Structure 1
């Protein structure tokens, strides 16, 4: 997915404007869905909803960071991407930890709230992912934004499936399994972003090393 020619320099002013507009919209959507889904996750006692809410919060913070580095040199955009990749790895660790704790002492979540909020979140994330699709092959910073949006849409499908599973079985296990899958998705996406960012940081420092 890496695009060597797009990672070589800063984007044009017109591309900057479109990128900023897309990020502001994505930031607003993710911030709003974080508040809604976190409240619903606590009310429904759903670990997968709570994990998805934290993912919305992480994405909102990452979009804000991306807005801060638009138009800056590649090294700064790569550093921002590295931070976002590490954030995804930490989020995955938190989700898997809470899922293990819930497996030992949690109760069955409320499937109707899970399903309704999961569908609303899915619609929101698909809209954001479609909007950001054109930047899926940009530099590590742009790719990290696309990966976050894509992962969120996949996670929301899984949350809806978990709601159906909880409704059908009357147990918490579908919810916990999906929370575990979401953690794995966060690990995979975070590791990919970290690798891309590290490669770009090495590329940006190569001319300096050559001059020495």
Structure 2
């Protein structure tokens, strides 16, 4: 299941990043970075499946850090596009985001039953949940950009996606860090012979 959602998100990253660059859209490129981050999150989750509690919590800490970095990168990109005077192409934004929404809905449904397994799987599910909000935001931004012919809705959604990254980062790190620090004391797999 993790291999499937990893492949979907890797494909979404390449498609959305290219479309975001072509459409001059901060929101679409932010969404593409979200897909890249998710692919990395799923790869980390695969790497620690069956690992010790400390390894799984360590992977969750790394995921939280990556989410925070992506949030900061997206904020920088929003500012850069506003300064450069971006003119987003609303039809392309909406079409690509609608495809991404369907793909992310499939991922969300695949992951839903595993969200309570452990912190590692919960962090994976949180990323998937964020994707749905991000895709819906890009579609809404595209509609408002089309109506107003202004880049501000695109920048606003890009900023909201960045803030969602930062919130998720904080949420995951707040739970994972203490678990990572304390897991070595409680997990027999982490004790060196």
Aligned length: 188
Which residue of 156, 174, 182 corresponds with 2:153?
Answer: 174
Confirm or deny that 1:55 pairs with 2:34.
Answer: yes
RMSD of aligned alpha carbons: 1.4
Give 5+ residue unaligned stretches, structure 1: 1-21
What is the CA distance between 1:113 and its match in structure 2? 0.2
Confirm or deny that 1:153 pairs with 2:136.
Answer: no
Give 5+ residue unaligned stretches, structure 2: 188-193
SS of the residue 2:113 aligns to: helix
1:102 maps to which residue? 81
Query: How far apart are the structure 1 equivalents of 2:121 and 2:37?
Result: 15
Task: Report which stretch shifted further, 40-49 or 133-142.
Answer: 133-142
2:59 maps to which residue? 80
Deviations 1:2-21 (A, max 9, x none): xxxxxxxxxxxxxxxxxxxx
Query: How far apart are the structure 2 equivalents of 1:207 and 1:174?
Result: 49
Confirm or deny that 1:40 pairs with 2:19.
Answer: yes
Query: How far apart are the structure 2 equivalents of 1:207 and 1:42?
Result: 48
Query: How far apart are the structure 2 equivalents of 1:63 and 1:165?
Result: 33
Equivalences for 1:1-150 in 2 at 5 Å? 22-150=1-129
For normalisation by structure 2, the TM-score amounts to: 0.94
For normalisation by structure 1, the TM-score amounts to: 0.85
Deviations 1:113-146 (A, max 9, x none): 0000000000110110111001222322111100
Query: How far apart are the structure 2 equivalents of 1:55 and 1:168?
Result: 26
* C-alpha contact (below 8 Å) 1:140/1:200 kept by paired residues: no
Confirm or deny that 1:196 pairs with 2:178.
Answer: no
Deviations 1:24-66 (A, max 9, x none): 0101100111111111101100011011111111111111111
Task: Report which stretch shifted further, 176-185 or 187-196.
Answer: 187-196
Query: How far apart are the structure 2 equivalents of 1:200 and 1:127?
Result: 30
2:191 maps to which residue? none
What is the CA distance between 1:198 and its match in structure 2? 1.1
